[in-house]
Amino acid sequence: MQKSQLILIGGAIVLVATLFIFGRTVPVASKKAAGEVMPGQPPVVAAASFEDVLQKAKEKAPADKLAEINSLEHAVVRGDVKTQQIAVNRKLYEIWESLDETPVAAYYAGEAAKLENSEKSLTFAANLFFKHYSHAKDAAVMKWQAEQAVELYEKAIALSTPPQTDSLKYLQATILVETGEPMAGVAKLRELVTANPDNAEAQLMLGNMAITSGQFDKAIERMDGFLARNPNNAKAMFILAEAYRSKGDKAKAIELFQQCRALISDPELGAEIDNYIKSIK
């Protein structure tokens, strides 16, 4: 289990945020969905338009590259239009990628993928948006990238088969939860765990969301059920322990943290958990 995999969603305890489960973070919850938790929503922001994103990128492009880009944008006029469009979109992707303009590059990769109707290409483009959207400095651009990723994942899901389908749905749910559509994200996570109760990623996210929203009993119930079938999952053990700690049952929490510690072989991470246990005592 790598340390990069061990970061807890939420802001209740700074140390925990360095330890467990997910590299991304969501705000602490302030609302609850029926039967499940709903994390706090970021301010509602309208998505930017691709035209605005493109224009800002063009303003930074070197003159020679900009001339090539403008030429390509008007290159498809006759003949096998679809094949030409795919080729042009791929070339535009390559140019914008070389200019380190990932959002624009991802858009053109996505346009080519839609025309190809290829699961592999659609997933590739969606992953480009997924990896980049949380780094956007402009909230409207971040929202636009998130929407692009969700749409592309949806198209890829329609062409995919298990277990790839589950992985794509999980990534889609993550985006929705993080960008102001938690109910839609929770619904997708519920679909995953209903179809496969041993889907660790979805179960861990739901359990963690329960903690960040203050539904500690819900987190305990979910992690107890999951650990009954997967007793050596250190991440689930940590979430269960944190739920008890948050609930005020320090003795039970320490017992579970110690069980979690016994499952971890990484010395550095183990030492951090040891220190965390001491801080609780």
Kindly list the domain boundaries of the chain, sorted by start residue: 1-32+198-281, 47-160
* CA separation for the pair 98, 102 (Å, rounded): 9
* CA separation for the pair 31, 109 (Å, rounded): 37
Question: 19 vs 240, which has greater pLDDT?
Answer: 240
Nearest alpha-carbon partner for 103 in 69, 137, 76: 137
| Superfamily designation of domain 1-32+198-281 | Tetratricopeptide repeat domain (1.25.40.10)
* CA separation for the pair 134, 117 (Å, rounded): 26
Taking residues 146-170, what's their average pLDDT?
Answer: 95
pLDDT at 273 over 80: yes
Neighbours of 126 (CB within 10 A): 28
Instruction: Give the model confidence (pLDDT) of 202-228 as tens digits.
Output: 999 999 889 988 999 999 999 999 999
Taking residues 110-115, what's their average pLDDT?
Answer: 97
* CA separation for the pair 26, 236 (Å, rounded): 18
* CA separation for the pair 205, 99 (Å, rounded): 35
Proportion of the chain above pLDDT 70, given as a percent: 83
Peptide bond preceding 267 in cis form (omega within 30 of 0): no
Rg, the chain, Cα only = 22
What confidence score (pLDDT) does residue 138 get? 92
What confidence score (pLDDT) does residue 77 get? 59
Query: What number of residues does the chain have?
Result: 281
Most confident range, picked from 50-54, 135-139, 263-267 = 50-54
Any idea what DSSP says for residue 34?
T
What confidence score (pLDDT) does residue 9 get? 38
Range with the lowest mean pLDDT among 98-102, 134-138, 180-184, 248-252?
Answer: 180-184
Q: How confident is the model at residue 272 (pLDDT cuts 50, 70, 90)?
A: confident
| Contact predicate 131/118, CB 8 Å | no
| Contact predicate 186/145, CB 8 Å | no
What confidence score (pLDDT) does residue 178 get? 86
Is there a common fold for 1-32+198-281 and 47-160?
yes
What confidence score (pLDDT) does residue 79 get? 61
Considering the chain, what is the average pLDDT of its residues?
A: 85
What confidence score (pLDDT) does residue 71 get? 94
| Contact predicate 273/261, CB 8 Å | yes
Structure tokens at 120: 């592999």
Query: What's the CATH class of domain 47-160?
Result: mainly alpha
pLDDT at 230 over 70: yes
The vertex-40 CA angle with 35 and 45, nearest 5°, equals 125
What confidence score (pLDDT) does residue 44 get? 67
* CA separation for the pair 72, 66 (Å, rounded): 10
